[in-house]
Amino acid sequence: MNEYNDKFGSKWKERFIDVITNTIVICRYNNRTVYINGVDFKLTPLSTFQKTKGKFISYLKYFEEQYDCKIENKNQPLLFSKKKNSNEIQCFVPELCSLTGLTEDMRNDNFIMKDLKKVTSLTPDQRCKQIVKNVQENLQNKEFKEVLESWDFKLDPRIISIPGRILPHETIELGNKTILTDNKRQWNMRNAIYKSITIKNWICFLPEKSKNDCDVFLNKLFEVSSPLDIKFDKKSLSLVHIKDTSTNGYKKAIESSVDKNTTFVLVLLQDDKKERYDSIKRMLTIQIPIPSQCVKWRTIQDAKTLASKSTKIGIQIASKMGGIPWSVKIPLPGPTMICGMDVYHSGETVSRTKPSIVGYTATMDAKMTNYYSRVLINKPGQELTDTLQPIFEDSMKEFKSKNGDYPKYIIFYRDGV
């Protein structure tokens, strides 16, 4: 908050509200995380709230008595959080909270991101060394050893060795050739994809200020997609410049521009605010169902990585529009259908009132590139579905219509059940 005050002067309040709204903070006095809806500049730690019936207490005194926390800055505004499906509002003192996750400034700092990757992206060798070191340090700790001994428990300082094998390199099938993966089981996309696609009658929504960056990105997208046999029809592309980059601004622009002839929507996002992304995606999935691709403005601003990122975005778009990026050689003994099924529950813990949603999918070809999929609504909390039989029969019939016969083999994947 102080940094924003120094950096933005008279406009710091607006900027601070923008960066802190819809974030999650952790309260250091009880280690609880809280979703923050905004900032109330009328309230300070000296403001009071009703602790018990008829008794009011200041935030300053409450935290001192309850948690032995002394608040230094008595003039700071308070953060507030609204409870879902309720008018109840809780307030929090910024000084006693820490922001979770990464800020926009952190993500833009290459040094921070590089250091973070070093710590989080360990190789298997580094991970093993870390585990062994941790165990050895614990075994030298007197209290730790005493607890183990009291349970008659022994901890081996060595990692168990088991015999293993190195899997053969996968054969990747593309549109005009096959290639082998490298030692890291990776491969480069420089050839035509397995099944090409042409994108026509599409719209790109972009913040007005991002016009130059967007032009460079689109040109690079066209350039890298051409050898991949992903065709973007430039003549049927409509560019919609957005002045109001709020969530509602994006939604109004999309609603007024997309019509029955539109086949695809590309949205250049002002920033990586989750609320905006979720709201736009919900709209393009439920209200105006249409294939879409969201790209953060920041993603396309680095000229060094633009070709690589444009390639990945192009392949994603092709996949969503019915193209097939690649296929893997799968040795199967005969016509095989691979099915997957999972159930989503609302997350309600006390009483379940919201329906559970079943997702079902099945492969329709030997290359595992075409799918039949269905979504079903179950009773609240219901895991196994009574409606599996009819959708399973439907997928079998669909398989037969595409292949001339029913599958001889069926592989069914379930998540943990």
| ∠ Cα 263 290 236 (to 5°) | 20
If we measure between CA atoms, which residue out of 294, 245, 299, 313 comes closest to residue 108? Answer: 299
Give the H/E segment covering residue 408.
none
CA distance 318 to 323: 5
3-state helix, strand, coil in the chain (%, to 5): 35, 25, 40
**CA–CA separation, 194 vs 322, rounded Å?**
11
Q: Which domains does the chain have, with CATH numbers?
A: 2-104 (2.170.260.10), 122-162 (no CATH), 197-326 (3.40.50.2300), 328-414 (3.30.420.10)
C-alpha closest to that of 284 among 316, 258, 321, 260? 258
Asked if 220 and 310 count as a contact pair (C-beta separation under 8 A), the reply is yes
Backbone angles phi, psi at 287, to 5 degrees: -75, -50
Structure tokens of 166? 């190195």
Residue type, 26: I
Distance CA 270, CA 273 (A): 9
51 alpha carbon, distance to own chain's centre: 39
Separation between Cα atoms, residue 76 and residue 42, nearest integer Å: 10
Mapping DSSP onto H, E and C, the string for 350-393 reads CCCCCCEEEEEEEECCCCCCCEEEEEEEECCCCCCCCCHHHHHH
Identify the bridge partners of residue 35 per DSSP, sorted by sequence position. Answer: 24
Q: What is the pLDDT of residue 11?
A: 87
Give residue-wise pLDDT tens across range 392-402: 999 999 999 99
- Pairing label, strands 23-27, 32-36: antiparallel
Extract the tokens encoding 244: 């109001």
Tokens of 285: 């999935």
- Amino acid, single-letter form, for residue 333: P
- Residue 230 host element (H or E): strand 230-232
Q: Given this model, what pLDDT does residue 302 score?
A: 87
Range list of H helices, 96-191: 104-108, 110-120, 124-139, 142-150
> Phi and psi at residue 17, in whole multiples of 5°?
-60, -45
pLDDT on residue 383: 65
Residues of the chain with pLDDT under 70: 348-350, 383-385, 416-417
Q: Assess contact for 58 and 46: CB atoms under 8 A.
A: yes
C-alpha to C-alpha distance for 27 and 67, rounded to whole angstroms: 11
Q: Which two tokens stand for residue 356?
A: 């559970």
User: Contact, 60 vs 48, CB < 8 A?
Assistant: no
CA distances from residue 121 to 102, 104, 252, 309, 312 in whole angstroms, order as listed: 17, 21, 40, 20, 21
What letter represents residue 237's amino acid? L
Q: How far apart are CA 77 and CA 59, in angstroms?
A: 12
Which of 262, 268, 211 has the alpha carbon at shortest distance from 236?
Answer: 262
Locate 20 and state its tokens.
């802190």
In this structure, are residues 190 and 224 in contact, taking their beta carbons and an 8 Å threshold? no
Residues sharing a CB contact under 8 Å with residue 276, sequence separation 6 or more, in sequence order: 246, 247, 250, 269, 270
Tokens of 95: 């000084």
